[in-house]
Every structure is written in structure tokens, then in C-alpha cells.
Structure 1
Amino acid sequence: MRSKLFLLSFSFLSFSVFAQEKEQDSLINNLSEVVITGQYNAQSVKKSVFQVKVISREDIDRQAGNNLADLLNQTLNINIIPNASSGKSSVQLFGLDAQYFKILVDNIPIINDEGLGNNTDLTQINLDDIQQIEIVEGSMGVEYGANAVSGIINIITKKNSKYKWEITPYIQEETIGKEYNLVDRGRHIQSLKVGHNFNEKWYANALITTNDFKGFLNDKKGKNHIENDGLRGYEWLPKEQLNVKSLISYNLKDHRFFYKFEFFKETTDRFDSFVDDGHHTQTQTTRPRSADEIFESERFFHHLNLTGKFNFMNYDASFSFQQQKRNVETYNYWIRTGEKFDVKNFEYESRDGFYSKANFSNFLKSENVDFQLGYEISEINGYLSSIAGLFQDNIDRRLGSYDVYGSTEVKINDKISIRPGVRALFSSQFSTQTALSLSSRFFLKNDYELRAIVGTSPRLPNYEEMYTYLVDVNHNVQGNPDLNPEQGVSAFLHLNKISKFKSGIQLSNKFSAWYIDVKDRIELIIVNQTPLQYQYRNIDVYKTIGTSFTSSLNYKNWIVNAGVTFAGVSKVLDSQENHSDDFLYGFQLNANLSYRVEKINTVFSAFVKYNGPQYQFVNQENENGESILVRGKQDGFTWLDATVKKSFFKNNFEVTVGARNILDITTINTTSVEGGAHSGPPTNILMGYGRSYFMKLLYKLNF
């Protein structure tokens, strides 16, 4: 597949450029960007009662980001948490992990191996058909239901084109650290996107992308290493991805529908570091072998959306069926001959189900008052093999959620708007929950804008917390199916100021302050001392407070953005005998700049983010064997990327070259993690695979 796409891409590069139309690529951020997330109707950022951060298509292209993990690494208040042993990357926002954060595509939560919208692997979200990405920080339970405690990311896909035909192939080659060749090293990406306007009403597109990550060896020796010295395998696992997407849309004057389909497939190879030399005493020969695994994930995504307006109301309704399944193949491997034996295949984990969401608004036809009513329904079947965790049996459960919600937006005058809202969450598994919100926007003197947003959202327990079962002569660790959802509440304050000067400078500043409180936090606690027994209970509290300041300057061919965050985290760990509820503070800095050289049609960009030290209280033993509480530290580190994008042939052919992780970050030191039951705490955390270089060649055949 990869070689065919490679040849197909370059066949388009040889096509005559005379059929092209000039397409300008503006670096200037449009201050009146239209946003969708949380709105009754698509509207400008300025009119939204929510503070919505927009990552544009131009921003994505400047970073040459292929998946969501590539892109969000430079975003303030967001940490990307890679897992080299599984190949997955998750997101952390305000110190809360991916269970508290929701990722949506066109307002629909994405199903994955472990959840619906939450616990999403960012490397599985392809960006090739994305129009823009919208981020809202803070609890969004009224608009988006459970598990939207710390915020949401809404990915808006492209659904139209100004051209009759739009054909875009590209290839992208990257090194993985210092490792690269065309066969079994590096990262190799190929893509082909085709869009067509049949007439004024009908539009369709299709996309196919392959992403072949060959893994990162570092000091490892790969799958064919025959010595039992712990060096067999990879530090970052090899994996290959295939994305196939299609869309068809139909537009009338007052109504529109679209249907989207996506097929995603990922294959991840895991090689055991232990090698059995297979020593044969009679012949004094060896036949080394190892036990390996291949994980294969497949996702099917269907989404039908109907949007429009009648004389008496506006409507927006979506219906989605999704399925993601992760299978595993286990086998023994004769290393010298490359033969497999004792091959076994079984389902590892899966999710599938139906989802529907609809809202109705604009009943009053008033410019000052509007209200919205809506529902959200999901029927999700989840399966988890007993070997996927500490489970006594395979877990096969259904979770039905049936929510209704409503809000009212009142424009008190030209300067003040407020929006209260409420949602009732009904579930087949948990007691009825509620989510509340109150958002307000104030236009102040001298073009200042003030937004105040308070919201709540529950977080539902996961399978590990409910169904863990490890009971033997040495252990008694159990889940708790009677757990209650955690309760999250947040309050945000945003002050914005946009200034325009006669010199042509546009300056946008934003100051934000926030407070997030998660009650009934689920933790594993000791419920019996003799014999020692553990169980998950609703017991702890998590709090974070913080402030941030961001600034954006546009002047002629320059764009400069910078931001700083200072935040503190407090964990009230009633689940532990020794704990402190003091706030531990840290900070982040980020900046990026771009400059366009008009004469040579080239854009130079640089992106930098400093993640300051993070602190956490951990229990350690002193010299007398007593448990004491100490402040652990995870070292800070800086992530620096740079790109150069040059356009040829009236902007139809683009070449982007660049470097990621220029400061060569691989691991960072830590004393902020406690050890396990039978192991000491880790002393470092794997964060990257070193400095890497890439080149992207993209061609636009538009006519």
C-alpha cells in the first residue's frame, strides 16, 4: 500500500500546473473566526459566551502535524503523555488525565478501546481532513455530558470546497531520532485526498492515509537479537496505521445533511526482551526463541448529521454508530529462522454502540433571548479480556446513557449576555446525575471582553476501578461495582483585549484564572489491615488553581504568540495514612513565531514550550523503615520544533522541512512516582525519542 501511494503521489506532481487556480495561504489569524463548539449556531469567537481556542488549518500545516499528538505538544496547559510500551499517547489537562477530558469529531465523541470520547489515543486521530480544532477549558457537562470535567477538544472536519475538483496527494518522511532508512527505520506517511463538487448542492470527498512508524531502537537491538541480555526489541514499539475516510453532503437553502464514514486500522508489534536460548544438551547447539505479540485495532465510524431551520425553530441532529476492537495475536518466535509457532488469536478489548445527539433552538425569533433544548443517547457495549488487566473473568458490560439538557441565552443589553444551563444524566449503571452551568460575557470599555464560566460534570468509573480482581495468597485487590461517579466543578474567568494600531499591528491579549475541584475522587485504599485488603472507593479530592496570560501579535508578515501559566495542584488523599493537602505549584511557557518571505514564497516557523518541574507528595521509607511523606519532583524540560514551508507553481506544490524535539529530549528524571507492591519507584520517565527531522511534499490539483 505504501509504495503504491508513493507512486500515485508523484504521478500527480507531474500533472500540468496550467489547470491550477491560485490559492493564497494567509498567515494572519482571522480574529472573527467562526466557532461551533458549545454554540446554538455557528458564530464568531467574539460573540461566543465560551472562551474557545481555535487551532486553524494554517497552524496545523505550519507544524506538519499528522496526528493530534504531533499538534498538541506545543499547546499551553496541555501535556502529552506518551506510553512507549503500548504505543499510545494520551492527554493531560490541568493535571487531570484523559479520563476527565473529552475528544469529539464534529461534536460526536470518538469511541476507542477504553471509552467514548475519553481515554482517546491521540496518535489515532488523523488530521488530514481537518478544517480547524476548537478547545474549551473547564467543565462542559451541560453541553457534552459525563467525563467533560477538565475540558473538551472538538475537531471540525472539512465539508465543502470552492473548487469543482480538489486532489491533494502528499508524502512525508521522518527520522526517528537518528534512525532512518526507506525500509525498516523512520516514519513514512503517504496520503491522497480527493474532493468533488457535483453541483451547487452535492459535495463528496475521500481520503486514504498510511502512517508507518518503524519504532525507536535507541539502545535496543530489534526483534532478531538472539542474546538474553534484555536488549531485544524496541524502546518505542513499531506500529502501522491506515485511515480511510469519506464524506458526502447535500445543501439546500435552509437545510443540510452530511454522512461521514471512517475506517481505521492500526497494527502494533511488541517483542519480548527475554530470549530463551533453546540450548540442546546432546548436540550442544542453541535455537533461541522468544514470546511476542501483535496488537491490531480496527475502528468503524458512521455519522449522519441533519442541520437546518424551519419557521418555528433551528435543529441540529446527529446519529452515529461506532465500533473499535483490539485483537491480539500471541506466538513464539524462532529468532534465527523468523518462524512463528504456537500462534493464538483472541479479542483483547472492544467497544461498540449507537450514539445520537440533537438540539433545537431559536423558537422565539428574538435577538435578545434564545433557548436550546436537547437530548443525548448512547448505548455502548464494552468488552475487556481477563488478561487485559487484573480481572477474574472477561468483562462484558453494557452502559446506556440517556440525557436531556436545556439552556437559555439572554442578551440583557448590547454589553451583557448570560447563559444558564442544566442537564439530567440517566444511566443504566449509575444513579441519576446532574450537570449545571452558568456562562456570561461582558463587553467593557476600551474593547475589553470579560467572560465568566462556571460548570459541573461527573466522571464515570472505569472498568479497572469497578472490576479489578486479584486475590491469591499474597494479594487482595478488588474493584467496586458500587462506585459513584466523581463530581467535577470548575470556574473560569477570561479577560480579553484586542488592539489595532495605525502602524498595522494587531495585538490580542488574554488573561485567565481558574479553579477546578473534583470530589469523590476514586482511589485504591486499604479496607482491612489483617489480612491486607485493597478496594477502590470514592474518598479523595483533587483541586487546582491557576492563572495564565497569552498574547498574539500580527504585523505585516509576522505572527508572534506567547503564553505563560502558573498553577497549583492539591490532592486531599484520605486514601493514604500520610498525606498533605498543600498546593504544589508549577508553570509552563510557550511561544511560536512565523515569518513569511514574500519574494521567495516561504514561511519560517518556530515553536517552543517549557514544561516546568512538577511536584507531588509521595510516601517513602526512612532509615527506620517508617513511612514518611516527601515532596517528589519531576524535572522540567523544553520542547523545541522548527519548520520551513515553501510554495512553488502558484502555491500548488508545497515543500515543508523541519525538526522536532531539537533539544533532543528522551527521558526526564523524577522522584514524584511511588513504587509498586513489588518494585521500587522509577527514576526517569520516557518523554521522546530524540531529535528528528522530516520533509513533506504536498501537491494541490484544484480546478
Structure 2
Amino acid sequence: MLCGVLNVLQAQTNDSIPENVKDLEEVVVSGQYNPQSVNKSVFEVKVITQKEIALRGGNNLADILNQTLNITIIPNASTGKSGVQLFGLDAQYFKILVDNIPLINDEGMGNNTDLTQINLDDIERVEIVEGAMGVQYGANAVSGIINIITKKSAKSKWEVVPYIQEETIGDEYDWVDEGRHIQSIKIGHNFSDKLYVNGIVTRNNFNGYWGSKKGKSYLYNDELRGYEWLPKEQYTVKSLWNYTTDKFKLFYKFEYFDETTNKYAEEVRENYNPATETNQPVATDEIFTSQRILNHLNASGQLWGTAHYDVSLSYQQQKRNVENYNYRIRTGEQFDIESYEYESRKAWYSKGNLSNLLPTKQSDIQLGYEITSIKGFASAISGLYSSENISRTLDSYDVFASSEWVVSDQFSVRPGARVLFSSNFNTQAALSLSTKYIFKNGLELRGILGTSPRLPSYEELYTYFVDVNHDVRGNANLNPEQGVSAFLHLKKKYKVKEWYLSSKLSGWFMNVKDRIELIIINSSPLQYQYSNIDTYNAWGLTLTEGAMLHNFRINAGATFSGISKVIASEEDYNDDYLYGLQLNTNASYTVPKWNTTFSAYLKYTGPQYQYVQNTNDAGETIVIKGKQSEFTWVDATVKKSFYDNKLEATLGARNLLDITSVRTTAVEGAAHSDPASSQLLGYGRSYFIKLLYKFNF
């Protein structure tokens, strides 16, 4: 939300505003008929600019979203992945898009995305739209969308941009076995004033966080072997071909992503030989590898003089393999190696629309379609792998329409509807109504009402995990969940003496019906199955303030929210609202004479509560209000340019308060008298340096 405040400040259009402020006005594409400035958009769009990304030293999406209000990063040290929540709903309920198309991942298409697998080397900006966006972006956009817009041009004929980044992981660092090491190079060329081509290669080596663990070479069976955060190495290769004329644009993007994650078992089999009084310790370890291939072809231009078309075609694939092996720790020998394809997704996707169909500035109509065909199989949630995976296909065929009426210079309204046809589910619908009113004093009011279904995942539909100890099954008869949201935004930009100020107050309500949960369908023997049974409600208020004086900027925000879950899957549930508080602020100061910018970021997340089923001392099942403790995240950076802005050096510190974990009692199943457990959040205070050079000629 700090970024949102900054964007409000950047959206000034008053002629009295100096040029250095006007230059920061943002053009957005998310939810728009055509690219247009933030202040003209009917939707409230937050923008994280490339300059902001550079100031933070961010190189993946998790690095730059952790300071944003209403977004919570959920790291998983045991898998190496980082998920995200938006308004308390997890990553199944919103979409991550790249240039307006959903991005495939290990577990879905646009949803359940691992944020650490999205690097930012070619990013122009990140656009965030909150609230149900079912009409514009289809199913699974219940709480909103995050749209990553990539760069597609360069000012110089040639650009060669290498950079390196070295970062500690907590207090762990060396050149080989500890720390985070990133190298990247981008080469771009304007073959003409119409054709631009580039290529990018990036390596990101995260050596894992040891913490209290002893690494992979530890010999003893005391649960100290391995890492608290898993080591992983990523390679990303990208290429762009962009052809542009006055009335026609065509680009093709290719991306190959490869990630290797090593998981080292805590359990060590010491294999003691009493005859020789020696041992040969052995552990069973795993290597997970993920590969993603993305192809995206997009054409846009004008028809019949004024009409505008935009069509995308994409083929994407992501698979995750696992290799199990036994490891002789003393000698480093691997044996009994077995490999399996663990998760797989292949998708054909196309989206197109026609807009500007009416020859008048007072009204417009957009017509569009979206087609998705995904083939793959469900995650092995048991942790057991089989080479006999059952492949399934999910196809969807959507058509949508919306219209925008500019009633006056102050008032505009946009209704819309989408019909969603699916090979697996009954026909669904999404509706929206957005309005914007600008008062004579410059006060802007936006209202957004929208719906979006969430389609069941592969895991919920097709899981089959049955053995002597477990019986967990998917349900092919599940219905899509139904989400609806209402947002109201009130903002004002004004000047007091030499200060440029902005204020924004936002309120929202969200509801999700037919929530899918894993329930007990038979008590003896114990059997579980996914079912449509629960309801989710959330409401909240967000206030943000921004101020700028010459080279100094400061932004601050606060969110107060309440969440209620009607957990009908539990016998004794409590649907009272549970309330939470988030605060954040950032500040930056630029010293032009030094070409240096100092920045600081702070986000406070108050205690978070959740009703969970536990057992008391008598062994009875009860519902208690679990609590996760508060925490504060603080980052700081210094960015300086040299040699006519060709060399950029960024020094930074993440997690200055040295947060690693917080106490929580919001855990299902623990006894009432059990001590609180820990929720891992970070790997402690870390420092980084980034050096980037621009060879432009």
C-alpha cells in the first residue's frame, strides 16, 4: 500500500506541479480498454515502478511485495517456496499475470504461484488491482490480480546491462557455500525504429540458511542435519522480439526457467559396526527440479479506423521432478537413486478483445474471449511418489463484454459480464460494476463491485492417497466457489505551501461461499474428502497518506480488518469476526549532487487470530482462538549512480530487526496445554550489494 500512496502522489496532473513530479505519472493497462494514466482509470490500480524495484534491490516478486499493505508473504522453508495472501485469502484466490496472461506454475495457472520463481530483470512495473476481477480476468480472481508488465523497448541502439548481487543469508556468507549470489546480463538491440530484440540470462544461487542446523555433511542422528531454509539454484533465460508501427504492434516472448532445490533429511542412519567399532552414516535425501517454458505471442492494433484489437496466444509448460537417493555422508556417495515426475502442467491459452467499437468519446464497448486448456496431474500431497500418475484435462471457454459510459467530465460508469464454460463444471458467470466520480474540488470517488468463481484445484478434484494409515480423496463432483467483493476508494491530491500531499481512504467487503475444505466423511475407518461447505467474510478500512517536498518523500498507511469463517466442516465452530492491524511507512531522500538516494521501509503486522480445533487435557475436541504474535519488518537501502548514471551501486539491509520466527497457537490439533509453536518468517538480518553497469551506445 506504500506503493499505492506513492502512485496517488504520482498521478498528479495539475499544471502547477513541477516537471519532476509530472514525469512520474503512471500509465497502466490492468483492467483497461487501452493504456491510460492512473487517475483516468475506473479501477483503483496500485503501481510498483521499476525505480522502486531498483531502490529495494529486489530480484524476485517476494522481495518487493513484503512491504505492501493487505499482502502477506508466506515462506515455506521446508519446500523453498514463498506463497502470498491477499486480504487473508491464499494464492488460490488471486491471479499473477505477466503482460496480461496468467503464468503457469507447479500447482496451477496463474494461482498458487511461488513468488521466488518470478525474477524481475525485465520488469517495467507491477500493477495490483484489489477485489474480484472475474469479468476482466476470469475464474480464480476473487481477491484481485497482480499484473507484471515487462519492458519492450530501449532508447539506445545497443544496450548491454550486466549486474551482480551478493547477499548474506542472516549472518552466513562466503564466496562458495553460504549466502546468495546473483549474476545477470541483458543484451538488447534496436535493429530499426520498428524492431527491438533482447535476451537476458540470470543465475540466482541461494545457498540455504543453516541456522541451528549443521548442513548436509553432519554425521549424527540428533535432528540437526540439513538446513532451516533449503538451498536452491535458479537459471532464467528470456528473449523478446518487439515490432511496432503507428497502428500495429507485435511481440513474441520466450522464457526458460530452471530451479534445483536440495532437501536433506534430518534422520541419519548411523550403521554402527561393533566388530570394527566404525560407522557409515547414511541419509535419504531428495532433489527437486522445476522447469518452466513460456511462449507468448501478442498482436494489437487498429481496425476500421478507430476500433482497437488485442490478441494473445501462449503455450506454457511447467513440471517438477523429484530424485530420491541414499547418501553416504562420509564419502559423499549417492546410491539407490530413483526419479519421478512429481507435478506437471501443460497449457494452451488465448485471450482477445475488441474495444473502441463506438465512434464517440462518451461511450465504449469491449467484447472478448478467453480460452484455456490445461493438462496435468495432481500434487502428491502425501510426500510419496509414483510413476503412474493419472493425467487430467481442464478446459475453459469464456466470453465477456463490458461498456464504459462517460456521463460527464466528472462521472463515468462501467458494467460488465462474463460467461465461463468449462469441460468439468456447470456454466459460471461473473459480473462487475465500476464507477468513478470526480468532485469539483478534485476529490475522487471510485466504487467497484465484482464477482468471480474459484475453480477447484487438481489436488481438490483428483487426490487419491489411500494406504493402511491414510484415506484422503479428491472429489470430482466439487462445485466452483463463489466470490463477491465491494470496494470504495476516496482520494484527494492537494498542495499545502511547497508540500505535495495525497490522502486515500478505502473500505471493502468480501464474501466467498461454497468454500472447499477437507472434511471427515467416515469416522471408522477414518476417511477424508474435499467438499463445498464453508463461507468466508472479510471487511476492512485502509488509510494512506503521502507527502513530497523537493527531494524528500514519505508515505504511510494503516489497515484495520476483520475476518470471519463459517467453518461448517467442524462440529463446533465460531464464526465471530477476528480483527487485525497492519501499518507501514517508507521514506526516501535524494541528494542530486551525489546522485544518491537513501530509502527506508517499515511494515508492522499486528497479532493475527484464527479459530482452530484442538484437544484439551481431557482429550476432548474444543475450538479455541489461536494467536500468531506481532512482528515488524524493516529494510533500508542506499543507491548511488556514477559515470553519468552508467554505473549503479545499491547497498541494502533486509530485516533489520532480525526476525526469524514468531510464536503461534493457531495450529490445528495440538493439546490445550502444549506450548506455542513457531511460524518461520525469515532468516534474520541480511545485507546486500548490487553493482549494475549500462553499456548504452
TM-score by length of structure 1 reads 0.94
| Aligned-partner residue type, residue 537 of structure 1 | S
**Cα-to-partner distance string for 1:512-538 (whole Å, 9 max, x where unaligned):** 000000000011222234444322111
Q: Distance in 2 between matches of 1:578 and 1:72?
A: 36
Q: Which runs of 5+ in 2 are unaligned?
A: 1-18
| Aligned equivalent of 1:304, options 289, 292, 297 | 297
Aligned mates of 1:538, 1:676 — CA distance in 2? 26
State the partner residue of 1:190.
183
Q: CA deviation at 1:558?
A: 0.7
**Residue 217 in structure 1 maps to residue 173 in structure 2:** no
Structure 1 residue 167: deviation in Å? 1.4
In structure 2, the residue matched to 1:330 is 324
- CA separation of 1:681/1:421 partners in 2, compared to 1, >3 Å: closer, same or farther? farther
**Take 2:23 and 2:156, find their aligned partners in 1: how far apart are those partners?**
22
C-alpha spacing 1:391/1:218, structure 2 compared with 1 (3 Å): closer
Secondary structure of the structure 1 residue equivalent to 2:460 = helix
CA separation in 2, counterparts of 1:27 and 1:337? 62
Matches within 5 A, 1:661-676: 661-675=655-669
Return the offset for 1:445: 2.7
Deviation at 1:346, TM superposition (A): 1.8
2:489 is aligned to 494
RMSD in angstroms over aligned alpha carbons?
A: 1.8
Aligned equivalent of 2:539 = 545
Contact 2:362 2:405 in 1 (8 A): yes
Amino acid aligned to 1:255: F
Residue in 2 that maps onto 1:422: 417
Task: Tell me which amino acid in the other structure corresponds to 1:86.
Answer: T
| 2:336 aligned partner | 342
1:486-635 equivalences under 5 Å are 486-503=481-498, 505-635=499-629
Distance 1:389 1:444, change over 3 A: farther
Could you tell me how far apart the structure 2 residues matched to 1:388 and 1:158 are?
Answer: 41
**How far apart are the structure 1 equivalents of 2:690 and 2:518?**
47
Name the amino acid aligned to 1:401. S
| 1:57-72 pair list within 5 angstroms | 57-72=50-65
In 1, Cα distance between equivalents of 2:425 and 2:243: 40
Compared CA separation, residues 391 and 515, structure 1 to 2 (3 A): farther
The 1:28/1:83 distance shift into structure 2, 3 A limit, reads farther
- 2-side partners of 1:272 and 1:690: how far apart? 23
> Whole-Å Cα distance in 1 between the matches of residues 208 and 465 of structure 2?
33
Deviation at 1:30, TM superposition (A): 5.0
TM-superposition CA deviations, 1:538-571 (whole Å, max 9, x none): 1100000000011111210011111000000000
Counterpart of 2:245 in structure 1 is 252
Query: Is contact 1:386–1:395 with CA below 8 Å preserved after alignment?
Result: no
Say whether 1:641 aligns with 2:646: no
Conserved? CA contact 1:390–1:468, under 8 Å: no
Partner of 2:145: 152
Structure 1 residue 653 and structure 2 residue 647: aligned? yes
2:99 maps to amino acid: D
Partners in 2 of 1:240 and 1:216 — Cα distance?
Answer: 13
How much does 1:676 deviate? 7.5
> Corresponding residue for 2:109?
116
Residue in 1 that maps onto 2:391: 396
Q: 1:55 to 1:387 in 2, by over 3 A?
A: closer
Moved more, 99-108 or 521-530: 521-530
Look up the equivalent residue of 2:359 and give its one-letter code. Answer: K
Residue 475 of structure 2: aligned partner: 480
Change in Cα spacing, 1:579 to 1:197, as seen in structure 2 (3 Å) is same
- Between the aligned residues of both structures, percent identity stands at 62
Out of 270, 285, 291, the residue aligned to residue 292 of structure 1 is 285
| Aligned counterpart in structure 1 of residue 454 of structure 2, from 456, 459, 464 | 459
Shift of 1:385: 6.2
SS at match of 2:272: coil
Determine the C-alpha separation between the residues in 2 that align with 1:624 and 1:67.
48
Aligned pair partner of 1:37 in 19, 24, 30: 30
The one-character-per-residue Cα deviations of 1:37-74 (angstroms, maximum 9, x if unpaired) are 00000001111000000100111011000000001010
Tell me, in whole angstroms, the C-alpha distance in 1 between the residues paired with 2:384 and 2:566. 27
**Equivalent residue for 1:5?**
none
- The partner residue of 1:164 within 157, 163, 174 is 157
Q: Partners of 2:329 and 2:617 in 1: how far apart?
A: 46
CA distance in 2, matches of 1:526, 1:652: 62
Q: Aligned to 2:321, what secondary structure does the other structure show?
A: strand
Once the 2 structures are TM-superposed, how far is the Cα of residue 626 of structure 1 from its aligned partner?
2.4
The aligned amino acid for 1:47 is K
Q: Which amino acid aligns with 2:434?
A: S
Distance 2:178 2:676 in 1: 29
Matched residues in 2 for 1:373 and 1:437: separation?
Answer: 14
* Distance across 1 between alignment mates of 2:390 and 2:551: 57
Corresponding residue to 1:77 among 67, 70, 93:
70
Which moves more between the two structures, 440-449 or 613-622?
Answer: 613-622
Q: Structure 1 residues 670 and 385, CA, compared in 2 at 3 Å: closer, same or farther?
A: closer
Per-residue deviation, 1:31: 5.7
Instruction: Provide the residue aligned with 2:431 in structure 1.
Output: 436
Counterpart residue identity of residue 25, structure 2: S
Aligned residues, how many? 676
Question: What SS is found at the alignment partner of 1:517?
Answer: strand
CA distance in 1, matches of 2:213, 2:233: 20
**1:42-53 mapped onto 2 (5 Å cutoff):** 42-53=35-46
| 1:390 Cα deviation after fit | 7.5
Q: CA deviation at 1:473?
A: 4.8
Provide the residue aligned with 2:261 in structure 1.
Answer: 268
Mapped contact 2:382–2:465 kept (Cα < 8 A): no
Conserved? CA contact 1:349–1:388, under 8 Å: no
Larger CA deviation: 334-343 vs 522-531: 522-531
Q: 1:567 to 1:194 in 2, by over 3 A?
A: same
- Residue pair 2:289, 2:320 contacting (<8 A) in 1 also: yes
What secondary structure sits across from 1:59 in the alignment? Answer: helix
Amino acid at match of 1:106: D
Moved more, 345-354 or 208-217: 345-354
1:28 touches 1:554 (CA, 8 Å); kept in 2? no
Counterpart-to-counterpart distance in 2, 1:205 and 1:124: 21
Compared CA separation, residues 531 and 292, structure 1 to 2 (3 A): closer
Determine the structure 2 residue equivalent to 1:19: none
* 2:132 pairs with one of 123, 136, 139: 139
SS of alignment partner, residue 159 of structure 1: coil
Shift of residue 478, structure 1, vs aligned partner: 2.3
Aligned partner of residue 431 in structure 1, secondary structure: coil
**Retained in 1: the 8 A contact 2:379–2:459?**
no
Structure 1: runs of 5+ lacking an equivalent:
1-25
> What code does the residue aligned with 1:596 have?
T
Deviation at 1:496, TM superposition (A): 1.1
Taking structure 2 as the reference length, what is the TM-score of the superposition? 0.94
- Of the three residues 47, 59, 64, the one matched with 1:54 is 47
Q: 1:235 to 1:513 in 2, by over 3 A?
A: same
Q: SS at the partner of 2:397? A: strand
Q: What CA distance in whole angstroms lies between the structure 2 residues aligned with 1:183 and 1:29?
A: 46
1:622 Cα deviation from its structure 2 partner = 2.8
